[in-house]
């Protein structure tokens, strides 16, 4: 009932030319992959070219960040309207690298989520604990804070339009994946929060992606978990072959 999403987060990789070449190769595979939605998140400079290369195909284009204001004196920032103008349909919000590199807070995540929804974009909202938080047994406390503050003030209809990505920080780019069971446990906790805050049908419909060292050889085990509705992938999304293998994850 929940259509899985396989999303590639390219971070600070790929020129415009590399982006267009990638999407041209990806298009036919994405069009055949009716079992899931396919999203790529190129850097800002390549978004427009990506959207043009993807036009008429099943490939959707996401930005990796946005500002919450419509416009204004924010040097170096990009508004949600500008992302729409460039052809984006999705935007990643609150990725742990932005939280850590740029000090992004849950309150800012909340403003960005609302701005993205108002602009008609689908926010992919990232949450996840750091290693020391997991070791101290604080995973659920951290997820609850990120969920409650990051999604504060959303209506049930708003909530039904977002995607959540659970990305344990210790698993990102480290080659250390959460086991499918660990990921499913965190996803189950997030879904319980969703049920409390937004109700049964919204909790049942929300897609929760797992992210953190997802690779072609571990995607099958993760996707076999009922609670896991897709993947947000960094490193393994940069090559067409491995991203295609992820899109065509083993299905039982
Ligand atoms: P990774 O990155 O797949 O390289 O661990 C995931 C992410 O940061 O979204």
* 44 φ, ψ (degrees, to nearest 5): -50, -45
Residues annotated as part of the active site: 95, 167
Tell me if residue 146 falls in helix, strand or coil: helix
How far is 83 from 80, CA to CA, in rounded Å? 5
91, containing H or E segment: strand 90-93
Q: Which atom of ligand 1 is nearest to the CA of 235?
A: 4
How far is 141 from 191, CA to CA, in rounded Å? 14
Q: Does any ligand 1 atom lie closer than 6 A to the CB of residue 173?
A: yes
* pLDDT value, residue 1: 82
Contact 81, 118 (CB under 8 A): no
135: left (phi over 0), alpha (psi -120 to 50) or beta: alpha
194: left (phi over 0), alpha (psi -120 to 50) or beta: alpha
* pLDDT value, residue 175: 84
Taking the CA of residue 138 as centre, how many other CA atoms within 13 Å lie in the half-sphere pointing to its CB?
10
What is the residue-level pLDDT of the chain in tens, covering all 252 positions? 899 999 999 999 999 999 999 999 999 999 999 999 999 999 999 999 999 999 999 999 999 999 999 999 999 999 999 999 999 999 999 999 999 999 999 999 999 999 999 999 999 999 999 999 999 999 999 999 999 999 999 999 999 999 999 999 999 988 888 899 999 999 999 999 999 999 999 999 999 999 999 999 999 999 999 999 999 999 999 999 999 999 999 997
* pLDDT value, residue 169: 95
DSSP per-residue codes, 11-47: TT---HHHHHHHHHHHHHHHHH-TTSEEEEE--GGGH
* pLDDT value, residue 252: 78
Tell me if residue 217 falls in helix, strand or coil: coil
6, containing H or E segment: strand 5-9
Listed in sequence order, the residues at least 6 apart from 24 whose beta carbon sits closer than 8 Å to its beta carbon are 53
* pLDDT value, residue 107: 98
How far is 66 from 78, CA to CA, in rounded Å? 5
* pLDDT value, residue 234: 98
* pLDDT value, residue 86: 98
Cβ atoms < 10 Å from Cβ of 172: 21
Q: For a substitution probing ligand 1, which of 99, 213, 218 has the most ligand atoms within 8 Å of its CB?
A: 213
Instruction: Report the separation in Å between the CA atom of 175 and the middle of ligand 1, taken as the mean of its atom positions.
Output: 9
Instruction: Report the separation in Å between the CA atom of 144 and the middle of ligand 1, taken as the mean of its atom positions.
Output: 22
């Amino acid at each position: 009932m929940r259509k899985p999403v396989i999303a590639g987060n390219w971070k600070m990789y790929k020129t415009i030319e590399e982006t267009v070449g990638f999407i041209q190769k990806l298009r036919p595979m994405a069009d055949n992959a009716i079992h899931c939605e396919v999203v790529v998140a190129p850097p800002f400079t390549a978004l427009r070219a990506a959207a043009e290369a993807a036009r008429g195909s099943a490939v959707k284009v996401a930005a990796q960040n946005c500002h919450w204001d419509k416009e204004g004196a924010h040097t170096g920032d990009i508004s949600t309207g500008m992302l729409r103008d460039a052809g984006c349909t999705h935007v990643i919000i609150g990725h742990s690298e932005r939280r850590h590199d740029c000090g992004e807070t849950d309150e800012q995540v909340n403003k960005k989520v609302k701005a993205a929804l108002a602009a008609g974009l689908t926010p992919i909202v990232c949450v996840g604990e750091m290693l020391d938080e997991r070791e101290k047994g604080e995973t659920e406390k951290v997820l609850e804070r990120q969920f409650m503050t990051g999604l504060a003030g959303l209506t049930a209809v708003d909530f039904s339009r977002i995607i959540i990505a659970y990305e344990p920080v210790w698993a990102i780019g480290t080659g250390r994946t959460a086991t499918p069971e660990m990921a499913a446990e965190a996803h189950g906790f997030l879904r319980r929060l969703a049920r409390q805050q937004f109700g049964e049908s919204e909790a049942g419909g929300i897609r929760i992606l797992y992210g953190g060292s997802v690779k072609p050889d571990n995607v099958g085990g993760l996707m076999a978990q009922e609670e896991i509705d897709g993947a947000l992938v960094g490193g393994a999304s940069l090559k067409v072959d491995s991203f295609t293998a992820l899109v065509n994850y083993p299905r039982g």
